[in-house]
Amino acid sequence: MSVKDIITVPNDILKKISEPIVNVGINEKKLINDLFETMYNSNGIGLAAVQVGILKRVVVIDVSSKDEKKNPMSFINPVIKNLSDETSVYEEGCLSIPETFIEIERPKVCEVEYIDLDGKKKMIKCEGLLSTCLQHEINHLDGKLIIDHLSKLKRDIIIKKISKTKKNPDRVIV
């Protein structure tokens, strides 16, 4: 297992659509392990393969709190099958958009079909933070980011701020 570098905006790879995985083999399982290690190392609760530069439809999630036992979940080729009409709002952050948190309204409940590590098709119905996180990560696989929910002006300001920070890594933004 190894920690991968997380790609941040404005990198164009984050806007690309990820390709489905045909077979779940050793390489896919290694990728999933690397994604978990990278996510935990970055104190995240979700990570899509595209965020480490791999255009494969894979996401990992663990929404357990610090007090709880870890509950790592992986989703291969996830597809949202159903969304509730009822919505909820969460302040979302993203490892690819550092130091940025945006209140986003999403369907409260989602049903997602996916393939597990054994290559078996599964379905999960979730709500709350897991639902929000899963929708967020699946958006990544489709080239969509949380800043896409903002106006072009606000989006450009955030990208400019992150680009400046990358150019001046010693600069602290408070």
C-beta separation of 54 from 31 below 8 A: yes
Strands (E) across 3-108 are located at 46-48, 58-61, 73-83, 87-94, 97-107
In angstroms, the CA 95 to CA 82 distance is 26
Residues 28, 103, 127, 137: which is the catalytic one?
137
Give the number of other Cβ atoms within 10 Å of residue 88's Cβ.
Answer: 16
Catalytic residue list contains 137: yes
Which residues are part of the catalytic machinery?
137
